[in-house]
Chains A and B, each alone.
Chain A
Amino acid sequence: MALSFPEEVLEHVFSFITSHTDRNTVSLVCKSWYEIERWCRRRVFIGNCYAVSPGIMIRRFPEVRCVELKGKPHFADFNLVPDGWGGYFYPWVCEMSRAYPWLEEIRLKRMVVSDEGLELVSKAFKNFKVLVLSSCEGFSTDGLAAIAANCRNLRELDLRESEVEDLSGHWLSHFPDSCTSLQSLNMSCLSSEVSFSALQRLIARSPNLKTLRLNRAVPLEKLSTLLHRAPQLVELGTGAYSAEARPDVCSNLAEAFSRCKELKGLSGFWDVVPFYLPAIYSVCSRLTSLNLSYATIQSPDVTKIVTQCPNLQSLSVLDYIEDTGLNALSLSCKDLRELRVFPSDPFVADANVSLTEQGLVAVSEGCYKLQSVLYFCRQMSNSALTTIAKNRPNLNCFRLCILEPRAPDYLTLEPLDNGFGAIVENCKQLQRLSLSGLLTDRVFEYIGKRAKKLEMLSIAFAGDSDLGLHHVLSGCDSLRKLEIRDCPFGDKALLANVSKLETMRSLWMSSCSVSLGACKRLSQKMPRLNVEVIDEQGDLDSRPDSSPVEKLYVYRTVAGPRLDMPSFIRNMAQNPTYMR
C-alpha cells in the first residue's frame, strides 16, 4: 500500500497552485493526483475552443467555477477571418448550464455570443458573478439587459472592445435596486446613451465599484457628478472628453478628480478638448496606467500629462506624442513597463507627425523596466533596433509595425534582418514578437537559433522561401502560436515539420504558397490536427492539388473535426478525394 497524504491534504495543497500550466503538470504526476486534481480544479482555460469539446471539459472537470474560452484566431482582429467562421458560445453555455449550476465566471475572447446565450447565462447560474466579453460579437443590448436584470450577485461586466448591436441604452436600467455588488463595469464599446440617472444611482449603490469605464456618450459635464459618488474608484474610463470651455465646469471636474485618492488608471478621452486636461493633473502622480490612444491631442499636451506621471507603468498613446514626447517620457517615467504607440493616420504614406524610430530608442534607453512594446512607425533602421535590443534585454514582448510592407532600413536600404536578429539575441526572455519591414530568410535563421522562449510570432510580407518557415518551425522550442500572411512559405517547410504542429496551439497562414495537396498530406500524417482550409472561391472540390489555398488554419485538437464549419471551410481529413 502506497504511503501518501490523505486526499483532503493534497486537495488543500493543490488549492495554492493556481497557474493553469502548473495544475496541468500536477495532473501528470500520477493517476491519483490526476483524479484529485480534476475534482478540485475550479478554473479552466481553453485557448482554442475547438481544441476540446464542452463534453470533454465537463467530463474531466466536474466542479468548475470559472471558464475562459478563446475562439477566432488573432488575425480576425484585422478582418482576415471571414464572417461566419465560427467560435460559437452557445454550445458551451448549453452544456455548462446543465453541468455547472454553480458557475461563477465566464471569460470569452473573440467568440460569437448570442442574446440567447446571454439570457441562458443570466438564468442558469444562480451565483453568477463575472462576465468578460473581449472582442466578441453577435449579441445586442437585449442580452445585456438580461444579465443586468437576472444576475443578483453580479460583480463584473466587462465588454471590452466587443461589437454589440446597440439597440438602446435602456439595458442599464435593468439593474435592480437590490443590486449592490458591482465592482467593475466596462461599457466603453457601446455607443448608445444610457439613462444618466440610472447610471448615477447604480454607481451610488455600488460601494465596491473599483473599475468604471464609461462610453463616449456620457457627457463630460456630468462626469464630476459620477466621480462624487465613486471616490473609491481605482480605474476610470471617461466618456467624451469635450465640452464648451467653462472654467466652473473645469474646476468642478478637477475637484472631483482630486477626491479620487485611489485612482490609478485612466482611459477614455475621446474627442479631447485641451482646455479640460488640467482637470486630471492632480491624479497624475498616482497613475500607473494611462490610455490616451483615442485622444487626438498634440504633442505638447500629451507630453505635459505624461511628464507628470512618475509612477506610470503602462501607457497607450497615438503617434501625436512624437519623438519629443517619447523623449520626455523616457526622462520622467522610470517605472514604465509597457508602451503602445498607435498610428493616427495609418493609411497615409507620408508621415503626418514627427514620430520615428528615435522615439522608441529614447524610451528603451531611459525606461529601465520596459518589457512590452507595441510600436507603429514609418521608418526603422538596423542600428536603432540593435540599440534598442542592447538597451533592453529584459523585453518580453516586441511588436513593431512599420506601416509600409517590406520597408527596408531607411538609412542603408538593407533588410532589417540584423536588427531583429539583435532583438532575439539580446532579449533572451522574449515571448512575443511581431515582425515588419523588409526581411529575408536570414531573420528567420536568427529567430530559430536564438528565440528559444518565443511563444507567439507574427509574420507579414517577409522571407524569401520555405527555408524561412523551416527555421522557425525547427528552431523555436517554445512556439505555441504562429501567424503568417503574405509570405512565400509553402509546402516543403510545412511537411518537413509536421510533428511540430502538434506541440503548438495553432498555425495560421494566409496568402502564402501552400498547396491544397500539401494540406491533404499534412492532415493524413497528423490525425490529431484539424487542417482547415478557408477558401471563399467555392470550388475546392474541383481544384487541382497544386493550386494554392487562400487561408490555412491548423490546430491540435482532441475533439475531432468541427461540426459547425461554414461552406467555405474544409477539414482536409474529410476531403472526399482523400477518401478514395
Chain B
Amino acid sequence: MDQKKSTLDLFHDLDLATELRLGLPGSNDQPEIIKTSLSGNKRSSSEMGSSTCTDEQESRFSPPTKEQVVGWPPVRSYRKNILQVKKTDSDTGSGMYVKVSMDGAPYLRKLDLKMYKSYEELMKGLQVMFKCIIGLYSEREGYNGSQHVPTYEDKDGDWMLVGDVPWDMFISSCKRLRIMKSCEARGLGDCV
C-alpha cells in the first residue's frame, strides 16, 4: 500500500484542520463555507470531466476564503479601532510631499519625503530627478567638492543645510527643498 500521502491529501487534511465553519460544529465534515461564492464558478476545464471534479473538491483547491467570525479573535473593539486609525493614516498615502527647486531650473518638482529612509537615499533621488551631482556631506565642510548643495526651509522659515540633524528630525521639520549652486551656498555652514 502506498504510504506516501499525495500533496493533495495533505492539503485536504490541513484545510479541514484550520477551516472556519459556519454550520454547527459536528454537523458534517464537508466544508460548508464558500459554497455560495463558488457555485457560480465554471468548471476549470472541460477536459477534467464531471466524474473527477466535484464542486467540493474545487472549493478545496481554491484558496480558502476567510470569513470573519464574530468576536474572534477576542480583541476588544477599542483596541481594534486604535490600530485601524493607525493603519488608515499610513494607508491614505498622503505622503509628505515637499516642493523642490533647483537654481536655474525652469520649474519646481515635488518629492515625497516618506519614500526615503535616509539622507543617502534622498540624495540619490535628488540627483536622479535633477540630473545633478550633489557630493558627499561632511559635518565640517558641508557639501564640498560639488557644484550643488541641498538646503531646506524649516518650520521657523530658516534655510538650513541638509544633513546636520538626524533624519527623523529632518523630515518632520522640512517644509521645502532647494538645491543651491555652491557658489551661492557659501555663507551657509563652513564650506570654503
A343 on interface, CB distance cutoff 8 Å: yes
Given A405-B69, A513-B26, check contact A342 B86 (CB 8 Å): no
Minimum distance in angstroms from B158 CB to a CB of chain A: 14
B25, A488: Cβ atoms under 8 Å?
Answer: yes
Number of interface residues of A (CB under 8 A): 49
- In this complex, which of B20, B68, B72 has the most chain A Cβ atoms within 10 angstroms of its Cβ? B72
Minimum distance in angstroms from B124 CB to a CB of chain A: 23
Given A274-B168, A461-B25, check contact A343 B18 (CB 8 Å): no
A548, B14: Cβ atoms under 8 Å?
Answer: no
B128 on interface, CB distance cutoff 8 Å: no
B104 on interface, CB distance cutoff 8 Å: no
Given A347-B68, A413-B14, check contact A270 B26 (CB 8 Å): no
B1 on interface, CB distance cutoff 8 Å: no
Report the bound CA distance from A270 to B82 in whole Å.
Answer: 8
Q: Which residues from A are CB-within-8-Å of B24?
A: 488, 511-513, 548
Interface residues of A in 314-372 (CB under 8 A from B): 342-347, 349
Stretch from A31-39, A56-64, A72-80, A228-236 at the B interface: A72-80
Given A189-B78, A244-B172, A274-B168, check contact A406 B72 (CB 8 Å): no
A245 on interface, CB distance cutoff 8 Å: yes
Q: Which residues from B are CB-within-8-Å of A406?
A: 17-19
Residue of B at shortest CB range from A272?
B86
A486, B25: Cβ atoms under 8 Å?
Answer: yes
Report the bound CA distance from A342 to B83 in whole Å.
Answer: 11
Report the bound CA distance from A244 to B70 in whole Å.
Answer: 39
Report the bound CA distance from A343 to B83 in whole Å.
Answer: 10
Contact with A along B143-176 (1 / 0, CB 8 A): 0000000000001000000000010110011000
B74, A344: Cβ atoms under 8 Å?
Answer: no
Interface bracket on B: 20 to 34
Contact with A along B61-85 (1 / 0, CB 8 A): 0000010111111111111101100
Q: Which residues from B are CB-within-8-Å of A247?
A: 169
A413, B25: Cβ atoms under 8 Å?
Answer: no
B47 on interface, CB distance cutoff 8 Å: no
Given A245-B172, A406-B17, A438-B17, check contact A346 B70 (CB 8 Å): no
A161 on interface, CB distance cutoff 8 Å: yes
Q: Which residues from B are CB-within-8-Å of A102?
A: none
Report the bound CA distance from A7 to B170 in whole Å.
Answer: 75
Contact with B along A437-457 (1 / 0, CB 8 A): 010000000000000000000
A460, B78: Cβ atoms under 8 Å?
Answer: no
Q: Which residues from B are CB-within-8-Å of A511?
A: 24
Q: Which residues from A are CB-within-8-Å of B19?
A: 406
Q: Which residues from B are CB-within-8-Å of A407?
A: 17-18
Report the bound CA distance from A465 to B18 in whole Å.
Answer: 18
Minimum distance in angstroms from B34 CB to a CB of chain A: 15
- Chain A residues with CB under 8 Å of chain B are 75, 77-80, 161, 163, 189, 244-247, 270-271, 273-275, 293-294, 296, 342-347, 349, 376, 401, 403-408, 413, 438, 460-461, 464-465, 485-488, 511-513, 548
- Chain B residues with CB under 8 Å of chain A are 13-14, 17-20, 24-26, 66, 68-80, 82-83, 86, 155, 166, 168-169, 172-173
Further contacts, 15 of them, CB under 8 A, given A342-B79, A343-B75: A75-B71, A78-B74, A79-B77, A244-B155, A245-B166, A342-B75, A404-B18, A405-B20, A406-B18, A406-B19, A407-B18, A460-B74, A486-B25, A486-B69, A511-B24
